[in-house]
Structure 1
Amino acid sequence: MQHDRGLIAAIGDLARPIAEVVAQDLAAAGGPASSLPAAHAAVDWLLAELRAGDRVRSGSLDALRSEARAAAAAGRPVASVLDPYLSAGWAIWEAAARLPDAAPSLPELGGILLRAGDAAAAAIAAAYADAEAAQAARTASARREFLDELLVARPGDPSLVRLARRAPVYGLAAGVAVRVVLAAADRDLGDDDPAVSRLAAELGPRATIVATDRGRVLAIVRTGVLRDAGIRAALDAALGAGGWAAVAVDVVGGLPGIGAAVAAVHAALGIEVRLGRRGTLDPPEATLLEQAFLADEGLLAGAVAAVLAPLTTTPRTGAELVRTLRVFIETAGNRRETARRLGLAPRTVAYRLRRIEARLETRLTGPGLVRLGAALFARDLLASSADSAPATGPKDRRAVRPRRGPA
């Protein structure tokens, strides 16, 4: 069906007043007061489509895609590009309907306007979304690069001068006090994990950076704006109630201190996970003793063997003797309570304790008993199962697997 060329020419003569109507509509809807150039461009594009016929011109959408990409890059909403074309379609239709003898051609005219408008909307929306996605990827990549450099920087590193210039972009302006929170989930986490996005949403603007480091989720939050209860609630929402362990510490020394703070929470969290703790938010100091014990696991295993081997190697009854010694220490040397907990007669406990003293060649009192308690504590640390830990990220795979103490 051929549409009325005369009608299209008559509409073309009204291009300027139609564009003015579109600009007024855009301004009334909250658009910029200077919408006339965009309105003219939209009207001219649609008139060109009317002249071309039933099909959208090949390549005519490229200019619209360029507009959409430019708007995304400038941070303007997609509506700033799309609305002029949608409004122009209605304005052209209304202008055409007022022309004499236009009625027979209006159905065909309306069909062309609808098809052109749909094509414009689809092209603009797709180009804008693609541009936003690309920009987000570039932003995420830049943030990842900044964070990776920051985590290895230490006071005095030349890179800190450059990092300090970029830091305000990520909410780390000079003088902003921050706290580092590191959490382990039941799986290895990457930056694209939905749980990381959920945590970022839960923390909101109170967190300057939410990302991952070595398979664990790292949040840098502003000090004083979020209490421990709020952090726990956010972790529960993102990682599952009680399905996480976390360590948090206030950063000392501003930007240069962040790398050291993250290293400290990694060391502490490794112990928390190793011990199977869940739903805990502790400071690094909570595991300093365990970290000291495990600083040299080989040496610790040798020490445990040297102290406890006379018991652990006892034929048939070694495990019972170790268990009796453990409960005896836990009850502060109370033989009656030891018997009650073990479900044994007091005389049986007394017999076992005499055997323990004979095997170890030491009295179960004073410093000797304290030393045995330390050996059992170390044995438990060495035997703590790595199976309770979430999967480690690629950077963690170099870690030495925990050795087990003597059985």
Structure 2
Amino acid sequence: MGGVPGEELEAYARMLGEVSATGRRLRRDELDALRGSGERAGGGGNGLRGLIGAYLAATRDAWSTLRGVAAADTATEVQRAGEAVLTALDAAVLALGEGHQRAQRLLVRQDEAARGEFVDDLLYGRSDPGRLAERAERFGLRLGRGHAVAVARGEDAYEDSQPVVRRVERELVGRFGHRDVLVAGKDGRLVCIAPGGERAVFEAFADTALRPGPGYGAARRVAVGRTHSGTSGIVRSYEEALGALDVADRLRLHPPVLRAEELLVFPVLMRDRAAMADLVHSVLGPLEQARGGAGPLLETITAHAEAGHVNAEAARRLGLGVRTFTYRLERIKVLTGYDPGDPLHRYTLETAAMGARLLGWPDQPL
């Protein structure tokens, strides 16, 4: 009954008999036994409602045979026995609930540990693909499809136990159901794995992570990797998303949501690091001769490009007067020999400027 062995209910009925006869309260060992019954029921997958129902039914069955309802007893004795039984039942229900809750907490911790291990193996490709696919079904993923990975990064590190992680997960499940989507904290970042064709899922993930609502820590930026097939594809998409976040930080890109396919030019630029370093040194190296170093003039090249080569807008973004900004462009031309007003020269300067930011120059030596 309710997942409770018959012998446990029989022991409970005998205990009620003693309680009704003596009016005593439940002893510590009896409460511990009830907690154990609740824990076993919870660990066996039986709900608390069914568990309590079984003990209530046992109480009703036992009541008719208790000494307190014998015909020879007075009304006062019956009332005293009934109060003792109700007090015992109240204590029993509390003990059963405590044991059941303890089992549920243990199951949650075990599930979280298994989930964390699975996410680690999935994102780092450290498990046999066949075995990984079997484990994935437990968490609602079908790895035969092409998947993409989105990564959100905030001011503070994300952990699975944080309310904001549950907030994002509830939002996605509420909108899309358990449709091949997994949300988890990983290395201080928030990760979403979903089928690559489910663009709406990634949009909802980014929107909720960036604006989770009052009381939740918001992400600063979200990057989405490209869609790839198989378990190795998830690893690749995850690495692309991390790379996009790194590039965005180095280049100080403004969009809060980035897609790896939009940034493919940067891995190409950095594929030959030595050639990029040579370009930066050859084109921008002379800027170090300027008063204040290369930094301000490097910012000038970047702002000029971001403003569509409109001097007034670029000056506004840097908080400079147009005359000062124009003077900086002239200094760049004099020092480097490349004219920002010439399309070909401008392209060379801007490519070198991107390379400088990717390499951390001039703060880091080439």
1:149 matched to 2:121? The reply is yes
Taking structure 1 as reference, are residues 249 and 233 closer, same or farther at Cα in structure 2, changes over 3 Å only? same
- Residue-by-residue CA offset, 1:206-244 (whole Å, 9 max, x unaligned): 464322222111122355384444223432227958633
- Residue-by-residue CA offset, 1:131-167 (whole Å, 9 max, x unaligned): 111111111112222222222227xx7x122222322
Query: Which residue of the partner structure matches residue 211 of structure 1?
Result: 184
How far does residue 48 in structure 1 lie from its aligned partner after superposition?
Answer: 4.1
Query: Which residue of the partner structure matches residue 357 of structure 1?
Result: 333
Query: Which residue of the partner structure matches residue 377 of structure 1?
Result: 354
Query: Which residue of the partner structure matches residue 387 of structure 1?
Result: none
Q: Is the 8 A contact 1:243 1:279 kept in 2?
A: no
1:170 matched to 2:139? The reply is yes
1:220 matched to 2:167? The reply is no
1:306 matched to 2:282? The reply is yes
Of residues 159, 168, 183, the one that matches 1:190 is 159
Of residues 72, 75, 100, the one that matches 1:103 is 75
Q: Report 1:84-123 matches (<5 A).
A: 84-89=54-59, 99=71, 101-123=73-95
Taking structure 1 as reference, are residues 333 and 131 closer, same or farther at Cα in structure 2, changes over 3 Å only? closer
Unaligned runs of 5+ in 2: none
Query: Which residue of the partner structure matches residue 343 of structure 1?
Result: 321
Deviates most, 290-299 or 130-139: 290-299
How far does residue 253 in structure 1 lie from its aligned partner after superposition?
Answer: 1.7
Query: Which residue of the partner structure matches residue 60 of structure 1?
Result: 30
How far does residue 307 in structure 1 lie from its aligned partner after superposition?
Answer: 1.9
1:237 matched to 2:212? The reply is yes
How far does residue 124 in structure 1 lie from its aligned partner after superposition?
Answer: 0.7
- Residue-by-residue CA offset, 1:241-275 (whole Å, 9 max, x unaligned): 86331122464223342222222212222333555
Distance of 1:247 and 1:84 partners within structure 2: 52
Of residues 3, 7, 16, the one that matches 1:46 is 16
Distance of 1:199 and 1:371 partners within structure 2: 43
Distance of 2:181 and 2:306 partners within structure 1: 45
1:289 matched to 2:265? The reply is yes
Query: Could you say which structure has the larger radius of gyration?
Result: 1
1:73 matched to 2:43? The reply is yes
Distance of 2:310 and 2:254 partners within structure 1: 32
> SS in structure 1 opposite 2:46?
coil
> SS in structure 2 opposite 1:237?
coil
> SS in structure 2 opposite 1:61?
helix
Distance of 2:172 and 2:208 partners within structure 1: 6
Q: CA RMSD in A?
A: 4.1
How far does residue 326 in structure 1 lie from its aligned partner after superposition?
Answer: 5.5
How far does residue 111 in structure 1 lie from its aligned partner after superposition?
Answer: 2.7
Distance of 2:329 and 2:28 partners within structure 1: 94
One-letter amino acid matched to 1:237: P
One-letter amino acid matched to 1:343: G
How far does residue 183 in structure 1 lie from its aligned partner after superposition?
Answer: 1.0
Q: Is the 8 A contact 1:38 1:84 kept in 2?
A: no
Between the aligned residues of both structures, percent identity stands at 26
Unaligned runs of 5+ in 1: 1-22, 24-30, 384-401
Distance of 1:225 and 1:366 partners within structure 2: 37
One-letter amino acid matched to 1:234: T
Query: Which residue of the partner structure matches residue 404 of structure 1?
Result: 363
How far does residue 197 in structure 1 lie from its aligned partner after superposition?
Answer: 2.3
One-letter amino acid matched to 2:42: A
One-letter amino acid matched to 2:125: A
Query: Which residue of the partner structure matches residue 367 of structure 1?
Result: 344
Of residues 224, 241, 253, the one that matches 1:248 is 224
> SS in structure 2 opposite 1:211?
strand
Q: Report 1:126-137 matches (<5 A).
A: 126-137=98-109
Distance of 2:191 and 2:316 partners within structure 1: 46
Taking structure 1 as reference, are residues 107 and 242 closer, same or farther at Cα in structure 2, changes over 3 Å only? closer
Q: Is the 8 A contact 1:272 1:287 kept in 2?
A: no
Taking structure 1 as reference, are residues 70 and 403 closer, same or farther at Cα in structure 2, changes over 3 Å only? farther
1:271 matched to 2:247? The reply is yes
> SS in structure 2 opposite 1:172?
coil
TM-score w.r.t. length of structure 1: 0.70
Alignment: residue pair count:
353
